[in-house]
Amino acid sequence: MSATTAAEQVPRHAGASPLLAVHDVTLRFGGLTSLDHVDLTVERGAILAVIGPNGAGKTSLFNCLTGVYTPQEGTIELTTDGATTQLVTGSARRRRSRKPHVVNRIGVARTFQNIRLFAALSAFDNVKIAAETRGRTGPIGAMLRLPNARANDASSDALTEELLDFVALRPMADEVASSLSYGVQRRLEIARALATLPRLLLLDEPAAGTNPTEKLELERLIRRINAERGVTVLLIEHDMRLVMSVADEVTVLNFGKVIARGRPAEVQRDPAVVQAYLGTANDE
Amino acid sequence: MSQVGGLPIRVKQSRKVDPRLVRLFGWLVLGALLRLMTVTTEGTSTNHLLVVDAAFKSTKLIGWLVAGFIMWVLTELWRARKIGALVTSRTTGVRRQWRTVADRALSRRAALLAVVVAAIVLPQFLSEFYQRVLVDQVAVFVLLAVGLNVVVGWAGLLDLGYVAFFAIGAYTCAYFTGALPVAPPFTLNPFVILPVAVVVCLVAGLLLGAPTLRLRGDYLAIVTLGFHEIVQLFLVNKNNWTGGNQGVSKPVPHFSINLFGIHYKWTLASLPYWYLFIGMLAIVVFLFSRLEHSKVGRSWTAVREDEVAAAANGVPTVKYKLMAFAIGASTSGLAGVLYASRLGYINPASFPVVLSISVLSYVIFGGMGSIIGVIAGSALLTFLPAVFQEQNIVRQEDIPMWIGAILVTMMLVRPQGLIPSRRRRRELRLASEGVADADAMSEAPEGRGTG
């Protein structure tokens, strides 16, 4: 740990507990330690970036947060509306993560490194499926078209349209997801994640495979998600220019360990980071 | 011999055979094979090759070979003239117009009305034999297929124990009408048993589904197969409850209505039962088609296409899979009650595992995920054998072979099924392009926690 200095300066909502508190999380696969006593605090309203070389454990961290993996040690707490939820429960010997859909319901949405849209469905349906999970329509209600089911359907339609507008995909609403271009698919995946009305949005390499224009759009989009929709953003990204311009704070992982955290500019100058990551990245 | 990087590599120079000749050979072999399979002679214990002798040392072989040759000529002409592409390009306009007409809600309603009227009127002009086929085969299997379509076509779960729920429904009916050796606390009219059987099968589906639906694809198929085996063995071995292999001890009574001054008793006559069946089918199809285009149907699609992404976006995947399983099971149970009451007699042998596979093949043949396709497919494949049989088109024993041949041909020529759903067609195309998985059943999970 070398650049821990900035962590104390950043908190903006002093007193309130942070939105997400990852404490001492360790994840092992057999002999391989993917995450090694990782601490991470995400304050409400911030845009945070997690960077690190390939295999540093960034996506593993996301998978721990969303209930795909269960870390062997440590706690993950999410505080929304004054209520704190433990994302990893159980005793020290039998630990469990909350199921991915439960984590999503609590307020964490994510996108995937390799885009995972429902490829054969239209852009509209992709978003609508996520929007609908907030309603409480059951099979009976759906079969009989009870008033409740119809109201849910209408409100999901409205939310879907609003979000497609938000990511400027309204004209492509009826196109099949797989026929959209890569950058557009990325935006669609973000819209789908937003449709579950999250407090925290996890973006896994949103700029991968996009061209420079799309990167600029993405940068604006992330800022708008943060500012207009009030969603806290945690992103994994390799594109340093994007990270430097958009993130309030950067955490650097290497071999599962947090080696630095702080403001982007400070992290960039940190010798440990330069050695582990930026040195090689700048050469590219 | 040539040298690549110092290593001697033998480049095999194969003489090229004209692919047309290869295809001709294929057709001739197919003809000979069909001759062998349709030959009537049976082997004796001393001469096993009698069949081969009878098949190939007779003039009838020539007919099959000529038929193969004609097929070859036709297909080669088709290829050479690019008739397929020609037809496609010539009919583009017509088909587009057809699309717009077919997509219009009014024309859809008209088509639906026509089908319903045909289903009501046409059977009256059929012979008693065909009426019986319509009820005992077509109606039962269409209902089963519509239910299995929910499980396989929409939720993407491979269920090979589907007929077990059919049996549970039928035996529930037998139990509550007092047809089993074990006496029920009260006997019920089959109409009242319908919802009871639906609930029983729903519970059975949940009981089987809850521990097993975490499994995927092949594993789930094996477990459901085992479930079918358990149910059947229970029916066979629990003699004092089910009557064992002998089946029910008293005939299961027919349906009857005695309400609000309406008195009607269904009898052995087929036509009234046909109307009962299509009435039930209409209700089920109406409810299911609403389900398909609702939150539930979309969530099933999401689970089928990408379970990880569905869960990450708040879709409770296990809950929806369980729901599909239970809804499919209860449809099967519904069909079971109708079937038991219609036939009056059931035994464990009425529910062999091959029935599950038949229903599955009807669903795939008709077009997974499309209600209309599934109805058309199962109706066709159950009605066709009867036509073969009645009109003596092929020999009785060969009927399953011809049905099998139809299935194989269909899967080769039109894997998406008779009338595929649009989603399914897209999924298959994406799968063939390597973009996505066609069924999402065999895909490995993105790693569970190592807990």
Report pLDDT digits (tens) over B355-379. 999 999 999 999 888 999 999 999 9
Does A88 share its domain with A212? yes
pLDDT value for B143: 95
Total domains in chain A come to 2
pLDDT tens for chain B, 451 residues long, are 455 555 566 666 667 778 888 888 998 998 888 888 777 766 666 776 777 777 777 777 888 889 889 988 888 888 777 777 777 777 777 878 887 777 777 877 888 888 889 888 888 888 888 888 888 889 999 999 999 999 999 998 888 999 999 999 999 999 998 888 888 888 888 888 999 999 999 999 998 888 887 777 788 888 899 999 999 999 999 888 888 888 888 888 888 777 777 777 787 788 889 999 999 999 999 999 999 989 999 999 999 989 899 999 999 999 999 999 999 999 999 999 999 999 888 889 889 999 999 999 999 999 888 999 999 999 999 998 888 888 877 777 788 888 888 889 888 888 888 888 877 777 777 777 665 544 444 343 333 333 3
Q: Which helix (H) or strand (E) holds A30?
A: none
Does A164 share its domain with A272? no
Q: B residues 430-449 near A, CB within 8 Å?
A: 430, 435-436, 446-449
**How many other β-carbons are positioned within 10 Å of the β-carbon of residue A215?**
17
In-domain check, residue A24? yes
Does A88 share its domain with A228? yes
Cβ contact, residue pair B423, A152, below 8 Å: no
Range of the domain at A136: 117-197
Q: A residues 27-66 near B, CB within 8 Å?
A: 28-30, 63, 66
Does A99 share its domain with A213? yes
Does A82 share its domain with A15? yes
Q: What ipTM did this prediction achieve?
A: 0.87
Does A193 share its domain with A203? no
In-domain check, residue A158? yes
Does A82 share its domain with A186? no
In-domain check, residue A283? no
Cβ contact, residue pair B313, A128, below 8 Å: no
CATH number at residue A19: 3.40.50.300
In-domain check, residue A150? yes
Q: B residues 230-289 near A, CB within 8 Å?
A: 287-288
Is B290 within 8 Å of chain A by CB?
A: yes
* B320 close to B295: Cβ distance less than 8 angstroms: no
Does A79 share its domain with A144? no
Does A188 share its domain with A208? no
In-domain check, residue A180? yes
Q: Mutate which of A28, A29, A73, A132 to disrupt the B interface (most B C-beta within 10 Å)? A: A132
Q: Give tens-digit pLDDT for B265-296.
A: 787 788 889 999 999 999 999 999 999 989 99
Q: Among the three residues A176, A197, A218, which one is the final residue of a domain in this structure?
A: A197
Does A246 share its domain with A209? yes
Is B145 within 8 Å of chain A by CB?
A: no
Does A103 share its domain with A207? yes
Does A203 share its domain with A263? yes
Is B451 within 8 Å of chain A by CB?
A: yes
Q: Among the three residues A173, A197, A221, which one is the final residue of a domain in this structure?
A: A197
Q: Among the three residues A197, A230, A263, which one is the final residue of a domain in this structure?
A: A197
* Residues in A touching B309 (Cβ below 8 Å): 112, 116-118
In-domain check, residue A225? yes
In-domain check, residue A66? yes
**Shortest alpha-carbon distance between residue A164 and chain B (Å):** 16
In-domain check, residue A112? no
